[in-house]
Structure 1
Amino acid sequence: MRILLTNDDGFNAAGIIAIAKEMQKDHEIIIAAPKSQKSASSHSISLKQPLLVREEKIEGISGKIYSIDGTPADCVRVAMDKLVDGRVDVVVSGINYGLNSGTDILYSGTVSAAIEGSMHGLPAIALSQEVNEDSGSFSLSSIHGKRIVEEVIDRGLEKGMVLNVNFPIANNDTFNGIKVCKVGVKSYTNSYVPIKQGEDGIVYELRDENIDITHEDTDTFYLKDGYITISPLQYDLTNFNSIIEIKKWF
């Protein structure tokens, strides 16, 4: 099978290299990813800025590699239009350095790149891993990530659906299992601290802290217990239950 890999951490990030090395054991891979870090870029695209595309080399990666001076969504769009010769069977975004769980998915470039793949009519999966000061290896999540991707290849996905997969920090090189669940809620203090003041104005820096909001049967709940979480997402944001009621207003 032919797999398009992308991310928001950059084409040479550890997570995308780990999943690429695992996937290329049995599949053809193509990497099209940002030239540099583009975390929290959501689904933004470059409308006016020309995009520089370069073919890159990474030791141990056999497939084509392209760096693109744009957003994660740009990377998928450019790849599908110009870089991929022939079919693509699935789009995989990640493995992201850090979780994309709960309402954080709204800001995530990783998830948005997967959604862009789905908008091109392809099965798409976003992969993210929890990290801390003591963990940085993607070896276990790449093995499980490959298994999940291959299940999608075998079974397919409903049109307009994206799988958002999160891996907790592995304890003793094991996860507790897989939970398919809904998306939880995350909230932050959103504190903007002034760090410089001059004639042009005040420079603020975001120093937010997570406010713990945990609901049962959600990704944020199960990740704390060491489970891999899979949340099926859709990008049709219509609130169908409200259409009939709001029609009465006008």
Structure 2
Amino acid sequence: MNKKPLILVTNDDSIVAPGIRALIAVMKEIGDVVVVAPDSPQSAMGHAITINNTLHIEKVKIDADLDMEYSCSGTPVDCVKIAVHEILKRKPDLCVSGINHGSNSSINIIYSGTMSAAVEAGIEGIPAIGFSLLDFSWNADFEPVKAFVKKITLEVLEKGLPDSVILNVNLPKLPVDEIKGIKVCRQAKAMWEERFDKRTNPQGKDYYWLTGEFINQDKGEDTDEWALANGYISVVPVQFDLTAHHAIQQLNTWNLNS
């Protein structure tokens, strides 16, 4: 009898978010599930870790069918670290993060706690996938994408991933019969044109709200933004080696040692 894969589930929207509960439901159909997720929302935390405060974990019982669910006081990356080094008796076969409430396509991956948790798993040598739905609503409907989440997960478990590669999967907010399929893409060249909304509190002290507009400068039809805008699920392979290999030859022409 084949042994079920051990799957670590985490996110950045908190352990009670509907997105992670939907992801847990799918993963329970595939393997043995352990959940370690933040006890409160940690969106846009990026790859932050807790070093100046203590970390706390608490065993919780949200899903009656799960024996190992833990809420963590730290960031999404903290959740993966403490799961691997303190909670699990062996390295999981897969880590899945999400399903995030909102897009993590293009440059958003840099800020994403969802994707940073998946990247941390990749650093630990664990195949990892981050899933995000293009719907920021707490009451987002995850049912139309569950079959696609399962399909991608099974493919990763069967085929594996290239060394040091993590998948960034974004799912359009569409009825299931309007999703055209899955496209492997590159990350679009896009950014946030940011502004700060300056206000003054009753005590006369200034404060700021970050706001802005997402600008896609990329006209390519092989990007995640194009895929999502045209009814496809985008799958972008990402890596944590940030070396700009194409720039090494040019920098070696500089007179750095003279």
Per the normalisation by structure 1, the TM-score is 0.94
The answer on whether the counterparts of 1:181 and 1:230 sit within 8 Å (CA) in structure 2 is yes
Report deviation, 1:93: 0.6
Instruction: Pick one of 168, 193, 206 that aligns with 1:202.
Output: 206
Q: Are residue 224 (structure 1) and residue 236 (structure 2) matched?
A: no
Counterpart-to-counterpart distance in 2, 1:201 and 1:132: 31
The answer on whether the counterparts of 2:144 and 2:175 sit within 8 Å (CA) in structure 1 is no
Structural mapping, 1:18-57, within 5 Å: 18-57=22-61
Structure 2 runs not aligned, ≥5 long: none
Instruction: Pick one of 2, 9, 22 that aligns with 2:6.
Output: 2
The answer on whether the counterparts of 1:188 and 1:210 sit within 8 Å (CA) in structure 2 is yes
Instruction: Pick one of 184, 200, 204 that aligns with 1:180.
Output: 184
- CA change 1:61–1:201 in 2 (3 A) is farther
**Which amino acid in the other structure matches residue 236 of structure 2?**
S
Counterpart-to-counterpart distance in 1, 2:137 and 2:126: 36
- CA change 1:3–1:214 in 2 (3 A) is same
Deviates more, 1:120-129 or 1:197-206: 197-206
Report deviation, 1:19: 1.2
Map Cα deviations across residues 183-216 of structure 1 (whole Å, 9 max, x no partner): 0133223110112257784211112122343422
Instruction: Pick one of 72, 87, 93 that aligns with 1:83.
Output: 87
Instruction: Pick one of 233, 240, 243 that aligns with 2:238.
Output: 233
Report deviation, 1:20: 0.6
How large is the Cα RMSD of the aligned pairs?
Answer: 1.9
The 3-state SS of whatever aligns with 1:42 is: coil
Counterpart-to-counterpart distance in 1, 2:186 and 2:65: 35
Map Cα deviations across residues 64-83 of structure 1 (whole Å, 9 max, x no partner): 11110111000000000101
The 3-state SS of whatever aligns with 1:229 is: strand
Counterpart-to-counterpart distance in 2, 1:121 and 1:132: 30
Q: State the identity as a percent.
A: 36
1:243 equivalent in structure 2: 248
Per the normalisation by structure 2, the TM-score is 0.91
How many residues are aligned here? 250
Report deviation, 1:244: 2.4
The 3-state SS of whatever aligns with 1:76 is: helix
Q: Are residue 125 (structure 1) and residue 129 (structure 2) matched?
A: yes
